[in-house]
Amino acid sequence: MNQLLVALVGNPNTGKSSLFNALAGLRQQVGNYPGVTVEKKTGRFQVDDTEVMLVDVPGTYSLAPTSPDEQIAVHVLLGTQPGTNRPDMVLCVVDASNLARNLYLVTQVLEMGLPVVVALNMVDIAAERGLEIDIPALARLLGVPVVATQANRKKGIDELRQMLAGARVESAPVVTFSGPVEHQVDQLVEDQSLPEEIRNSFLARRLLLDVTGSLAKGLALDGNAEKTFARAREEVGQDQRIHGLEPVVRYGWIKQALDQLLVKRETIKDAGRGRLDRLLTHRVMGSVIFIVVMGLLFQAVFSWALPMMDVIDGSFAWLGSTVGSWIPPGALQSLVVDGVIAGIGSVVIFLPQIVILFFFIGWLEGCGYMARAAYLMDRLMASVGLSGRSFIPLLSSFACAIPGIMAARVIKNRRDRLTTILVAPLMSCSARLPVYVLLTAACIPDRRLLGGWIGLQGLVLFSMYMLGIVVAVMVAFLLKKTLLKGPTPPFVMELPSFKLPSMVVVSRRMLSQGWDFVRQAGTLIFAVTVLVWAAGYFPHDPLVESQVRERYQPRINLLTDGVQREELQQRMDAEINGEYLRNSFLGKMGRMIEPLVQPLGWDWKIGVAVVASFPAREVVIGTMGVIYNLGSDADEESATLRDHVRAAHWDDEPDRKVFTIPVALSMMVFFALCAQCASTLVVMKRETQSWRWPLFTFVYMTAIAYLAAMVVYQLASLF
Amino acid sequence: MLAQLARGETGRISEILGDDDLAIQLMEMGLVPGIDIRCIGSAPLGDPLEFELLGFRLCLRRKECERIILQDD
């Protein structure tokens, strides 16, 4: 069995992923290159007695690396990338409708001396544009086999597989540089003072043309070698401008070559794709479509996920009560039901939002619309120091920061990506809504302003959302000026034409991201939930329960009516739960921190609920329900909880209400700005590969939330 | 200057200014002297700008366009 390692290279947006899938089918794996969050895809297929292993390289425009992705591409091809072997062959994927720019990379790859096969992909799109390519002539020109493919329709795939298994012809350079350049290259190859690995014409030429030094840095060239190349460049520079030499020469060759190869026929005007393209770039319609698409995206994650989340909630509740009935009451039952099962549920409940968002994003990226969305939003994002690419991750965070943070992977610039991730949790996510709803309905008067147009309650709700945005803008601005200071990265971006994305590629990516989340974040979130359960359960002194029973039992025994008995029994159970919580570690913690939360206007009960909600803010409603003896089933819509909130008074002062307007406002402000989601912090750790940033986020957000809540309470109390 | 091209107007590139990564990036994408570039339009807020060259579309911020000098400028 022969084995062959083939590296897949190509520009972004050439359908490389579809081609990879078409070649490898199900036999593929996705991982990471060690130490970076760059995806590494490997796959395999068999032809006769040859096993071909594929490694997909990040899309790149050139082998002169200007980004981490491009560095990886170069290293993989050279065989110097940890985690991969040197490829035996290179498959260049080329977009037939975009030949000129794609050939740039191809001419570079041809200089490596490895066997090369070119896949001319998306020939259908080229045909639609009236472009006819003389494929045999192209093959002759490049000196390597060229196979026409349509990856999404699986056309040309078999032929490509055969070609890969059979091709052995080593490629040769096609672009000739000037005499002085080639002279220097020859000299450098012979130069004994340079490391052995560099003394081949490909690397010598690349390092010579590497005017910005990024390749030299990537290969960890020592000072002497760098000086040698610098000197060589100077010598070339005496005859011609070295900077920009490579692109000028290559494109010169490409232009000449294409004049011979390309035939442009009359385009069929108003072909479906052309029309769609024109619509998307239209001044007005483009923006309208954008708003509609973003609205749909938001709706999808916000609302469509809800039914699924309800089903998951219900299923886990059912599971909890069923399993609970098999275990006698006690610590074990509580651990299994409220700890383990609830813990797993709290992880799984995020899946609908993550999966839906990634499906949507994958689809948008695959059809080429993501670039256009980033283009439309760039001006707005640039005003806060970010780029258009940050828009969709931040928009998604309004539904849930977890998929939003994961979506930030599309942001190439490290500082921009980090800033986006660090402010994403400030976007008021869907878990904050129950708190806003409960407190607004209970405490904010239902007045109408501006002649009945604006409701006060709605205004307060809106303000909470705006607060998150305003603080995020300030934090992003500050970060860019201090911790994450750096030059504004350029925004040179290709705007690909609209293509129907491969459902297979999109679905696969969506599922793998969902599974990644469950596997990595899941374990930690689960652990935190169990810990919180323990803090809210222990010490669980039975004396507490018996004291409550003593008070209720005589009254229950006096009742003859079955329904009334049942009711009183339920109230007793609820009070028992409440007493247990109040006497637990969590409850004690709440009472201990009461002096800390008093400046915010809160009493210890609010303190307990807030502390309990640090791992997951949606828990606050249920916890408040338990503390006010309503059992754990109360939700933000329940009228009884609302009434209890309105009626709640301070422990020793029956006339002093707890939930005044200033208190409601300070509590909402706290929830708007505080980092109360362990899941988000865990995902942040995974995406930034360090605990430093989640810790930083936790500290800065909690600090801002505390201060803001205090200021709001103090100011509001003055009125 | 590239940024001054009217919507639909085509210009021919004369030179790319600068010695840094951005200049190289622009040239590698096809913005080399002699290539024709057409202005498609701008984003709603006036920035970035959209261009067409060599059969594909590219967007650039106005600031980045300052690097690109056209013939007959």
Residues A126 and A211 in one domain: no
Give the pTM.
0.82
Write down the pLDDT at residue A638. Answer: 65
Q: State the pLDDT at residue A697.
A: 95
Is residue A262 one of the residues assigned to a domain? Answer: no
pLDDT tens track for B22-59? 898 899 999 999 999 999 988 888 889 999 999 899 99
Q: Quick one: pLDDT at residue A658?
A: 86
Alpha carbon of residue B34 to chain centroid:
12
Same domain, A157 and A204: no
Minimum-distance CB partner of B29 among A61, A248, A380: A61
pLDDT, position A578:
80
Q: Are residues A223 and A288 in the same domain?
A: no
- Select from 3.40.50.2000, 3.30.930.10, 2.30.30.90, 2.40.420.20 the CATH code of B2-70: 2.30.30.90
Identify the domain boundary among A412, A427, A442: A427
Mean pLDDT per 10-residue segment, chain A (719 residues): 91 90 85 75 88 91 83 88 88 93 95 93 86 89 92 88 84 87 88 84 87 82 86 86 88 90 65 72 82 82 80 87 85 82 78 84 86 90 88 88 87 88 92 85 82 78 90 92 82 87 84 79 74 82 87 84 84 82 84 89 87 81 75 63 81 81 94 91 88 94 95 91
Nearest to B66 by CA among B11, B18, B9: B18
Please name the member of B32, B58, B64 whose beta carbon is closest to the beta carbon of A495: B58
What is the model's pLDDT at position A437? 83
- Is residue A281 located within the same domain as residue A323? yes
What's the burial of A337, exposed, middle or buried (CB within 10 Å: 0-12/13-18/19+)? buried
Q: Are residues A149 and A183 in the same domain?
A: no
Query: Residue A537 corresponds to which tokens in the numbers above?
Result: 């359960």
Q: Among A101, A252, A497, select the one facing B29 at the smallest CB separation.
A: A101
Residue with tokens 């040698």: A228
Tell me, yes or no, whether A203 lies in a domain.
yes
State how many domains chain A has. Answer: 4
User: Are residues A615 and A707 both part of a single domain?
Assistant: yes
A619 within some domain: yes
Check CB contact under 8 Å for A62 and B28: yes
Beta strands in A210-289 (DSSP E): 262-264
- Cross-chain CB nearest to B59 (options A129, A131, A495): A495
The verdict on A138 and A220 lying in the same domain is: no
**Domain coordinates of chain B in residue numbers?**
2-70
Query: What is the structure's pLDDT at A329?
Result: 80
CA distance to partner chain B, nearest, from residue A266 (Å) = 15
A546 in a domain, yes or no?
Answer: no
CA angle A274, A277, A280 (to 5 degrees): 150
Residue type, A101: R
Output the pLDDT for position A11: 94
pLDDT of residue A165: 87
**What are residue A118's DSSP bridge partners?**
A92, A146
**A236 C-beta neighbours (distance < 10 Å), count:** 23
Identify the residue among A263, A376, A493 best suited for mutation to test binding to B, counting B beta carbons within 10 A and taking the highest.
A493
A131 lies in the same domain as A207:
no
Quick one: tokens of A193? 């003072």
Whether residue A443 is contained in a domain is answered as no
Do the beta carbons of residue A3 and residue A53 sit within 8 Å? yes
> In chain A, what residues touch B43 (CB-CB under 8 Å)?
375-376, 378-379
- Determine whether the interchain pair B26/A380 forms a contact, defined as Cβ–Cβ distance below 8 Å: no
- Domain, as residue range, for A616: 533-540+584-717
Residues A145, A28, single domain; the answer is yes
Considering only alpha carbons, which residue of chain B is nearest residue A496?
B57
Tokens of A210: 């590497």
Q: In the numeric block, which tokens belong to residue A581?
A: 């919580």
User: For residue A648, how many other CB atoms are within 10 A of its CB?
Assistant: 18
CATH number of domain containing A126: 3.40.50.300
Given an 8 Å threshold on Cβ–Cβ distance, is A247 in contact with B21?
A: no
- Report which DSSP code applies to A435: H
Domain boundary at A378, A412, A427, which? A427
CA angle A551–A556–A559, rounded 5-degree value? 145
The answer to whether residue A550 sits within a structural domain is no
Do A619 and A688 lie in one domain? The reply is: yes
**How far is residue A683's CA from residue A520's CA, in Å, rounded to a whole number?**
8
Contact A211 B59 (CB under 8 A): no
User: pLDDT value at position A96?
Assistant: 92
Is A382 in Cβ contact with B47 (below 8 Å)? yes
Does residue A608 sit within a domain?
Answer: yes
Q: Do both A86 and A118 map to the same domain?
A: yes
- For residues A694, A700, A704, A707, the Cα torsion angle rounded to the nearest 10 degrees is 120
